[in-house]
Amino acid sequence: MTTFTVFFCGTGSTKFDDWNANYWNGELISTLAQNTQSVSKEFAEWIVIDGPGSGNLQADEMFAESGNYLQLKGAALGSGWEENVAHAINIMKGTFTWQREKLTEENYTQLQKAGIPIEEVKTTGSWYWRTYDYGTRKVTQQQLQEQIIKTFRKDGIIPTHVNLVGWSRGGISCHMLANAMLNDSALKNVPVNIFAVDPVPGLLNFQDNRVKLGSNVKEYVAFYARDERSLGFACVVPECDKTTKVHIYPMPGRHATLVGNAAANGNQGAKVYAEPGQLVRHFAETCLTRWGVRLEKKLNLTPAQINEQLAKMKDDVGGYVKMRSTVYTTSTQTTGERSVTKGSKDIKFTAATSNDYSPGLGLSIEHILSSDHFTDIS
């Protein structure tokens, strides 16, 4: 039995953001991945995938060919997330559909400096349009990773359970991957759990595979930032199957506040409002542990500590409201609130309620006052 977890970083974010100075204790998704690294086998039990617009740093190790999109295109349009989903699908199935066979100049230089025997660089063309062939890899990254999967994935290649964790477009990537699994004959019966943090697709990206989920998703947990007002940052509360357990919660702060940016304006600055990020991290760790993921360095907040942080957030409401004046793009709102897409319908933030949710108040509650409100996911 193998529980497999995919960590999807947000737009412009990478697996190295556990050290990013904008996050006082590490950006959430990369930190969670880092904290499972020493107790679980990467590729066999988990992977972390950089977000769109983050610089194609993982292009060499993808199990599906990277589009190598410009960072601006990735950040603006989400270009690259389809390839990220294809990569995750192939990792789950333990088979790559693309591999980097040719050495790059960087690869060649590294081998040369290490004293490893290697053929001379081949050059063609005149000095003006000269091209270089640095040779071919003897063993590719993909071949190595495929062997890791075969060796360490227990009881067959196909995972028995899959957990998806993501922030921003990474949260939407969770939706996309769950739907891609449902449409894949080898993966359609694998149960999926999702933990999403402020899932935001960006402008013009509200297609069904990003805003609706099928019956393979057994539990959906998400936290949403109440005080974000940037155009293009409408968040998604997906339309879920009737059998899915849905738990959604509002948090004060902006888009990045929920993943550890504690700045007073939700963007840059000293640590001021750390509580939303701490609570989201605690419940991410709680859910992942409940779903079979091994993690180190968990916060393990007690009910008393949770209540203390909830009270602090209520006391700081004025500071969070002030955050609304700082935006990434231009400011927008729906009847004075953050814009939300519920399934394919545009609504105001507090209108995201349903008898199908547990708790049914959804995003309508102004201040969560007790740890008891999170009983369903604890």
pLDDT, tens only, 117-169: 555 645 554 434 444 444 565 678 899 899 999 999 988 999 999 999 999 99
Residues 115 and 208 in one domain: no
For residues 181 and 294, state if they share a domain.
yes
**92 three-class SS:** helix
Nearest-angstrom CA–CA distance, 103 and 101:
7
The verdict on 161 and 125 lying in the same domain is no
Of 114, 136, 158, the residue at which a domain comes to its end is 136
Q: Which among 116, 136, 156 is the end of a domain?
A: 136
Q: For the chain, how many structural domains are there in total?
A: 2
CA-CA distance, 89 to 49, in Å (whole number)?
A: 12
Say yes or no: 169 and 108 in one domain: no
pLDDT computed for residue 131 by the predictor:
43
Q: What is the pLDDT of residue 250?
A: 98
Domain interval for residue 320: 3-99+141-377
Same domain, 199 and 145: yes
Residue 130 and residue 201 in one domain:
no
| Co-location of 236 and 289 in the same domain | yes
Assess whether 117 and 15 both reside in one domain. Answer: no
Q: Is residue 120 located within the same domain as residue 239?
A: no
Structure token pair of residue 361: 């108040």
- pTM of the predicted model over 0.85: yes
Do 223 and 274 share a domain, yes or no?
yes
Same domain, yes or no: 88 and 131: no
Angle value at C-alpha 63, between 29 and 57, nearest 5 degrees:
50
Predicted pLDDT at 266: 96
Q: Are residues 112 and 244 in the same domain?
A: no
CA–CA separation, 309 and 305 (whole Å):
6
Residue ranges of the chain whose pLDDT lies below 50: 121, 125-134
